[in-house]
Homo-oligomer: A and B are copies of this chain.
Amino acid sequence: MISDRKLEHLLICKQYDVQYKNKKTGFEDIELIHRALPEINKDKIDISTDVFGKKLNSPLIITAITGGHPLAKQINRELAIAAETEKIGLGLGSQRAGIENPELKDTYSVARENAPSTILLGNIGAPQIVGNNSEDFAQQAVDMIDADILAIHLNTLQESIQPEGDIDAKGYLNGINEITENMEVPVMVKETGTGISADDGILLEKAGIDFLDVAGAGGTSWAAVETYRAEDRYLGELFWDWGIPTAVSTAELINSVNIPIVSSGGIRNGLDAAKAIALGSDSVGIALPMLKNAFIGSNEIINFIKRFNESLKIAMFLVGASNLEELKNSNLIIKGETKEWLEERGFNTKKYTRRI
């Protein structure tokens, strides 16, 4: 049952360490360069952003987490209250359960009820868009929550590790292409924690998508989550650290495609976010910490968001960026393994180091 699995995922993420072990996001290799003379007023820093016509108070999206179970409904309500209050984006979890089982619809629509004005992202899996009824399926997802954006997630690592996994990845690109041609809302493609390379980003851009969420390695590991569910932990442990680190994936995509990028996967505060945006992304996404706070309540999430915003502003103040556009042009340096990875892949890290 999908519904039981959803519950298990939530509880595992609440209780166990599901994050990458030996691989980091790569942001620890990135240093924003302090400006002793910022020449701005921190109080006037503007971190608001426009996402496909809607204004967000902060370049922050709660990326897809849940739906499809009574507990998920509770979680989604808390997330929605916080997202609406703080005017940030909110992604729902995969809506397949709600589409296949109408009784579960309210576990998703609870979000729109509690977040009437902010951006909501619908969510379906790539396996669901291969074949005939895919547009209909996608439209149902959008309608269920009056979504502003439809996210299609790529999830091959988890699908490989879990016993029930959908492991036929043929036709994804074609399916995505069909959706982008037929949907009215903008279409995002997102990974779920293993990142997207420049090569795949270019294919996705050609397939017509509007928005890309890197969801790279370094934060929640879906191999890890499935390890805790598995009878035999062998495969989960072996692939626990698989994937492209978030900072690498972000830099690869920024330098290869021309659509807005959400950097996510292990982003934990406004300082990480500032680095991701200085690399060139438009916004950042956070899932796991949001879920953990949601178990406590919307106030806790709001608190987290406020701290996020404040830390983002401090980082911007310290590099003299009074808005996100200026942050995108700040100086930074890339060291260590992240530099090594990018250089080996043919990306120039020096372009970031003295832009001002």
Instruction: Please report A residues at the B interface, Cβ cutoff 8 Å.
Output: 31, 33-43, 154, 156-157, 160-161, 167-173, 191, 194-197, 199-200, 203-204, 217, 234-235, 238-239, 242-244, 269, 271, 307, 310-311, 314, 317-318, 320, 331, 333-337, 339-341, 344-346, 349-350, 353-354, 356
Contact = CB atoms under 8 A, between A and B. Distances in A.
Contacts of A157: 34, 318
15 contacts: A33-B244, A34-B217, A35-B199, A36-B200, A39-B171, A41-B170, A234-B307, A235-B310, A235-B314, A238-B311, A335-B340, A336-B340, A344-B349, A345-B353, A345-B354
Contacts of A243: 34
Contacts of A154: 36-37
B349 A333 contact: no
Given A169-B40, A311-B235, A335-B337, A34 B354 contact: no
Contacts of A34: 157, 194-195, 197, 217, 242-244
Given A197-B34, A197-B35, A345-B333, A271 B168 contact: no
- Number of copies of this kind of chain in the complex: 4
B344 A335 contact: yes
B340 A344 contact: no
Contacts of A38: 156, 169
Nearest to A245: B31
Contacts of A269: 238
A169 B341 contact: no
B169 A42 contact: yes
B354 A37 contact: no
Given A156-B318, A239-B314, A173 B36 contact: no
B35 A200 contact: yes
A125 to B, nearest CB: 13
**Chain B CB within 10 Å — which of A161, A169, A234, A243 has the most?**
A169
A271 B333 contact: no
B350 A354 contact: no
Contacts of A337: 335-336
Contact of A37 (B160, B169, B318, B336): B169
A167 B239 contact: no
Given A167-B317, A333-B341, A37 B235 contact: no
Contacts of A314: 160-161, 235, 239
Nearest to A174: B39
A281 to B, nearest CB: 17
